[in-house]
A and B are shown apart, each in its own frame.
Chain A
Amino acid sequence: MRQPGGPRQQRRHTPKANLSDLYQRAFKEALGKLNPKIMIRNPVMFLVWVGTLITAVLTLNPNIFGVTETSAVFNGLVTLILLFTVLFANFAEAVAEGRGRAQADALRSTQTKTYAQRILADGSMEMVSSADLRRGDRVKVKAGDMIPADGEVLDGVASVDESAITGESAPVLKEPNSDVASSVTGGTRIISDELIIRVTADPGKGFIDRMIALVEGAERSKTPNEIALTVLLAVLTLVFLIVVATLPPPANYINSPVGITLLISLLVALIPTTIGGLLSAIGIAGMDRVAQFNVVATSGRAVEACGDINTLVLDKTGTITLGNRLAEEFIPVNGHSRAEVAAIALAASIFDTTPEGKSIVRLAEGMGATLDFDRQKAEGVEFSARTRMSGTDLPDGGEARKGAVDAIRGFVRSRGGQAPEDLGRAYERVSNLGGTPLAVCKDDDIYGVIYLKDIIKPGIQERFDQLRRMGVRTIMLTGDNRITAAVIAKEAGVDEFIAEATPEDKIQVIQQEQAAGKLVAMTGDGTNDAPALAQANVGLAMNSGTQAAKEAANMVDLDSDPTKLIDLVTIGKQLLITRGALTTFSLANDIAKYFAIIPAMFASAGIGSLNIMGLHSPQSAVLSALIYNALIIPALIPLALRGVKFRPLSANSLLQRNILVYGFGGIIAPFVAIKVIDLGISAF
């Protein structure tokens, strides 16, 4: 597995979106979105748009509906402000979409049409366009070719440049039948050797296509919380529509009739235009943020679910610790010397190409150990999950093995030997250091223990701390023994761990947690992770992982960095917080707007004392409230796009903070702003 190149935030995320003419384009689109067919999708803003049209008619002929108290000039000003209110909301959505589209365009540029050699049933080749490839087709690519579609390596070993999607310049090795290296992504380039690939996605259905669709908002379906919020906003809008529509009879009854323009003004001021105008922008921006993190999500629902996660199930290796354990020390047992252990360890590891194996060789050779047999005549014994050991069959018939301590113990016993007394002590010593002990033996004799050192990723502890404060529990899964697992768990600060875990344990843990009503997220890359990825509420597959894993997951990380799951939790929460905060702000604003407009509407009813802001005149009061109502939308666009800053605090302290800022702020801010606008207006 490739190492992530330095802290994530410093890494360059390609492709870089081109944002140069974003705002000009967005403004043009804002006009285009005035089309009633598009407007009706947002009931709140649609109502404002209908109001605008009515006031426009009233500007041309103020008496068209019979009595009206307001002049054509006033009606014209109201029309203008309402029009801008609608435009600002459209603009917000267009900016968010534009940013998404820019991202998508950049992605699409990697997706130039290529040609590929398709292998026919009879083994012959034909040259086809990548657009004609179908799922299940086999293609052959060689150095210099663009990989035409997402696929699975069937044959060959080659290095591939995936910088187009990950921004990582170091080439990656691809080979068949590997959990971490067998899948390739369309649009990446093979730079050495050749591969035979089975295509796993039809054209337009590959990862990049999915990512484009997501960030463009084309397939954006509303998330559950967004739907619930939309319902609430629609009902509030309906309530205010009733409130305003039923106002004329009582107003007429007390001989204080109200013109249509004023009624529309009141309605627009009361309905939640701020959140209504920004809601879709918040959603699109949320998807965009996920994409910027180089994660492909299959749905917005999955992103939202990230915010709800109760439990993270994490593999130790690659997520909590750096991928590779390194041999740190040889500990002799049973009276053997350190040099003897080194020699046997070297013998047992000479065919081991894993980083661990190589590090053992390096350590042994550093201590001066050499091979005392002909490598050509010896034979490697591969590691398997069943035997849990690997080794070398020596030319002289001897068997050098290294592996899990109890596996070796069993092996020695099967050869008629006994485990030495001090083996346990060595095992414990290594475990207590948080290392992985590997026993080394030859035939029936255990020589010693190799201390494989695990390196916990820097900064991981603080992240788990944050998660805990947010109420997210972490469970570490590891193949290590209990003691080692406990030490690492303690050091990294995870809440729980499962030692000596098998892939089946993973799915069991997830099911257990879910049975308790929790939402679980996990990462995985291997084929045997696929069921667990599918079972989890949020399954994040590594792009380097197998096709099976990627298809089972609902998100794929193009950088193959499992710690990203933690960031996704934050993004999901931020999405909800932004919606909640702006809704609260929007509703709280109504108080001030009431105090501006109601006294102005019924100025003749002797309720002047309600004009607590001391606004200049009824007209200026209404205009000020409407101008505030319009301007607050663009003012909040940056916040909607960026999202409310998320702090890893407990729910209560978070609420306290956000209520203070958006609740009380929402009550006070419009009083100040409307007064200031009124002072500005009355200066004319």
Chain B
Amino acid sequence: MLQGCVQIALTLAILVAIVPFFGRYMAQVFSGQSTRLGAIARPIERVLFAGAGVAAKRPMTGTQYISAVLMSNLVMGAFVFLILMTQERLPFNSTGLSAPSWDLALHTAISFVTNTNQQHYSGETTYTYFSQVGALGFLMFTSAATGIAVAIAFIRGLTGQAIGNFYQDLVLSITRILLPISLVGAIALLIAGVPETLGAPVQATTPEGALQWIARGPVAHFEIIKELGENGGGFFGINSAHPFENPNNFTNLLETVIMMIIPASLIITYGIMAGNPKQGWLIFWMVFGLYAILSAIAAIGEFWGNPLVNNVLGDIQPNLEGKETRFGWALTALWAVSTTGTMCGAVNGMHDSLMAPGGFVTLANLFLQIIWGGQGTGTAYLFVFLVLAVFLTGLMVGRTPEFLGRKIEKREIVLASLILLIHPIAILLPSAITLAFPETLSNISNPGFHGISQVAYEYASAAANNGSGFEGLGDNTLWWNLSTSFSLIAGRYVPIIALILLADGMTRKQSVPETNGTLRTDTVLFTGVTAGVIIILGALTFLPILVLGPVAEAFNLG
């Protein structure tokens, strides 16, 4: 127990140590300050801007920005769909894979372009090396960069600056953040044992004479951006539990930390760009606190193990179903909380086989979407909750609520409410339809309460752009592919549109000077109230489904 707690605590400590530096670095990048990388990156960026035909310095209006996001994502998604559908004739198809079904290819393209990487397939048996590297690996960069760009535009808007140029932020996110870290990280993973080859699967003869097929491929470069960009789509079906994706505890530590650094640091970036680092840190610690509590709940659940199995074993042993020996209960639980919190969606153990507390925590993370939250978008959702908290508390001190000196009025509330509303629509409605026809639609693999969790998890994962799953679910069907595509799109683009409109509106508001009557938002009190608003609004919406899923499962198991 103690050993596991120390592992978790130290991992978190590493995160806390990195965040201030990385947060400041991102603030420098997006405020146009020079950084050490600039000298190398600038010529590359110039080539990219020229090639793309972008006047990067020209700031965009809200509608221009939205149009650029949607159009670029549409083109990228269509491009990738095309590659997937024609993979049979494209190079690097050493195992002779044919094209996937159209609905799977569509789901895959949407899932990757929305930074979700929900996989209704197993990588090694479905997509060729070319599809993985040329289609999916490509979207891993651009979808992550899209998220960062939107977050930066949102932060700029909140702080009263022009929201900026989408393509400039998109390119800078790749050249200054994602690509440099990926290069270094990929080499580190490579040295630690992650393969990078175009060679076909190897046939091995085991000492007992069996024939083993060892899948491999260009994994290292793919693995690092998968974690860093919070994409989460595994090269192999079993994701980061696969010894080739995550061979040892060095790679596991690296991957755990690296999946959290961008969303965690973006909070600090916000504080710096808003000229109020204190507020950034307060919000950071609020999220950190929730994250630590959820991690503890999940870890304790796994540590005490499965009482039914423990009866058979005659001893209390951790639940190791679907877990790798090298990671153990503690680091698998921590990963599960981190990956659902950050909307990464990569797994190093099977969430379907987690104990009920772990199921509860991972589902709750997907519902709340802010315990670190998605690449960029998570930080923005955090501020939507802040805006709602400001509205309620602002009224309570008797002034038209204002955030960073800008008034929160009907337009802001409408847009914030839209974001609040889209999540239940994209999760609860399709879940209800699927559960209404369990025989024909659901393909649930685990009976009872857990089946409800499987269905809700799949839609929550899609709507929150997470991508992990209770993978027992038989999800490569027409219904699942199309209905989750709806959740993917609704969960990604409606909030992005609302966020940009919100930010754009805020830039055009006159700022109100701060007085004694202004409610300060950089206090422990206000941060605490925000946490309350997050928990109450989140919990109130999804409590019934949590009760019918993991809570009922927990009570009935024990």
Contact = CB atoms under 8 A, between A and B. Distances in A.
Interface of A: 224-225, 227-229, 231-232, 235, 238-240, 242-254, 270, 304, 307-308, 310, 468-473, 516-519, 572-577, 579-581, 583-584, 587-588, 590-591, 594, 598, 602, 605-610, 646, 650-652, 654-656, 658-659, 662-663
A577 B548 contact: no
B544 A243 contact: yes
A651 B396 CA distance: 9
B204 interface: no
Interface stretch (B35-43, B146-154, B295-303, B432-440): B432-440
A594 B420 contact: no
Contacts of A519: 512
A517 B398 contact: no
18 contacts: A242-B428, A242-B429, A246-B431, A247-B544, A248-B436, A249-B431, A471-B516, A472-B517, A517-B510, A518-B513, A576-B396, A579-B395, A583-B395, A591-B539, A594-B543, A651-B397, A651-B520, A655-B525
Contacts, number: 211
Contacts of B510: 517
Closest 9 CB pairs of A and B: A471-B517, A580-B395, A573-B398, A471-B515, A471-B516, A246-B432, A235-B417, A580-B396, A249-B435
B541 A243 contact: yes
B520 A577 contact: no
A577 B547 contact: no
A304 B400 contact: yes
Contacts of B541: 239-240, 243
B511 A602 contact: no
B518 A651 contact: yes
A583 to B, nearest CB: 6
Interface in B520-549: 520, 523, 525-526, 529, 532, 536-537, 539-545, 547-549
A584 B520 contact: no
Interface of B: 388, 391-401, 405, 408-410, 412-414, 417-418, 420-421, 424-425, 428-429, 431-436, 438, 448-449, 451-452, 455-456, 510-513, 515-520, 523, 525-526, 529, 532, 536-537, 539-545, 547-549, 551-552, 555-556
Given A225-B400, A602-B552, 4 more contacts: A228-B409, A517-B512, A580-B393, A598-B543
Nearest to A235: B417
A517 B392 contact: no
A310 B400 CA distance: 12
B452 A231 contact: no
Nearest to A256: B548
A228 B549 CA distance: 35
A74 to B, nearest CB: 21
Contact of B420 (A239, A251, A610): A239
B400 A517 contact: no
Contacts of A656: 525
Given A472-B517, A517-B405, A610 B396 contact: no
Given A250-B432, A652-B523, A655-B393, A574 B410 contact: no
Nearest to B430: A246
Given A473-B515, A517-B513, A656-B525, A606 B540 contact: no
Contact of A228 (B410, B552, B555): B410
Contacts of A252: 435-436
A48 B552 CA distance: 29
B548 A580 contact: no
B410 A308 contact: no
Contact of A250 (B513, B536, B548): B548
A246 B540 CA distance: 14
A84 B523 CA distance: 42
Contacts of B547: 598, 602, 607, 610
Nearest to B408: A228
A655 B396 contact: yes
A606 B429 contact: no
A242 B424 CA distance: 7
A250 B545 contact: yes
Contacts of A243: 424, 428, 540-542, 544
B529 A655 contact: yes
A514 to B, nearest CB: 9
Given A228-B413, A231-B417, A253 B451 contact: yes
Nearest to B436: A249
A655 B425 contact: no
Most buried by B among A229, A246, A577, A610: A246
B552 A577 contact: no
B519 A468 contact: no
B518 A471 contact: yes
A240 B420 CA distance: 12
A420 B34 CA distance: 68
Contacts of A471: 515-518
Contacts of B451: 253
Given A250-B431, A310-B513, A651-B520, A235 B529 contact: no
A607 B555 CA distance: 6
Most buried by B among A304, A605, A609: A605
B502 to A, nearest CB: 13
Contacts of B401: 225
B391 A228 contact: yes
Contacts of A574: 398
B557 to A, nearest CB: 10
A580 to B, nearest CB: 3
Contacts of A224: 400, 409-410
A664 to B, nearest CB: 9
A606 B517 contact: no
A393 B456 CA distance: 96
B398 A577 contact: yes
Contacts of B409: 224-225, 228
A458 to B, nearest CB: 25
Contact of A652 (B413, B425, B428, B520): B520
B417 A232 contact: yes
A620 B154 CA distance: 49
A572 B517 CA distance: 13
Contacts of B529: 655, 659, 663
A242 B421 CA distance: 9
Contacts of A658: 396-397
B68 to A, nearest CB: 28
Contacts of B448: 254
A238 B512 CA distance: 33
Contact of A654 (B392, B397, B400, B429): B397
A307 B452 contact: no
B395 A655 contact: no
B540 A270 contact: yes
B432 A248 contact: yes
A59 to B, nearest CB: 25
B397 A577 contact: yes
A78 B518 CA distance: 44
Nearest to A658: B396
A473 B517 CA distance: 10
A391 to B, nearest CB: 46
Contacts of B517: 310, 470-472, 650-651
Contact of A605 (B396, B417, B436, B548): B548
A651 B516 contact: yes
Contacts of B396: 576-577, 580-581, 584, 654-655, 658-659, 662
Contacts of B388: 232
Contacts of A607: 547, 551-552, 555
Nearest to A599: B547
A253 B452 contact: yes
Nearest to B437: A249
Given A251-B548, A587-B536, A239 B410 contact: no
Nearest to A580: B395
A461 B425 CA distance: 56
